[in-house]
Amino acid sequence: MTDQSNAKEKIIAAATELINESSGNISDITARSIAQKANIGLGLINYHFGSKDALIEECVQRIINNVVFSFKPNLLNMETSKERLTACASQVFAFLFENPSVSRISILGDMKAYGQGTNTSNTQQGFMRMLGDEIDSDKKELLTFTLTGAMQTAFLSSFEGKPILKYDFSKAEERDKYISDLVNLLFESIV
């Protein structure tokens, strides 16, 4: 590993550690605190990332990517595609609300550059694995794309503090009801 890539990885490691320690209060993390933790000069953050915000976004994408790939939904006793998808989507939706700052940065970052390998795309792929062979692959893609988009929009819109479609997302049971209603609607209209 070269000195340049080593410095970059030290910066990412320090910023990620600060993000994890911040309990989601990313606005409290300064470029100076990152540089100090990484034991590097402040200018290297801008040199490697352009800005503190770009660095934070890259770190958050990595954090979420690790969560997506290590996610093991509880699917015991789930026999149908609809049951598996509902259970998995409910767990993902809960994660968004339990980790709002990190989730928001990840979603907005994906919207800027959506494509293969983004956390949004990986989530859709995970949802597709919940669906059995009885569902056509084109319908699987449409269903998981629509489900993911509706979840992200509902999550991002919830920052306004107003109930969305009469669901109060501050309550876990209301979030679960939203996901159940949404999956049922998608199965009725797509599958």
Domain architecture of the chain: domains with CATH: 3-57 (1.10.10), 71-189 (1.10.357)
Separation CA 68–CA 65 (nearest Å): 5
In this structure, of 13-27, 89-103, 108-122, 133-147, the range with the lowest mean pLDDT score is: 13-27
pLDDT tens per residue, range 96-129: 998 887 888 888 888 888 888 888 998 999 899 9
CA dihedral 116, 117, 118, 120 (to 10 degrees): 70
Three-class DSSP category at 9? helix
For residue 40, the 8-state DSSP code is S
Q: What is the pLDDT of the chain when averaged over all its residues?
A: 87
Question: Which among 22, 33, 107 has a CA at the least distance from the CA of 64?
Answer: 107
Separation CA 156–CA 100 (nearest Å): 9
pLDDT score, position 172:
94
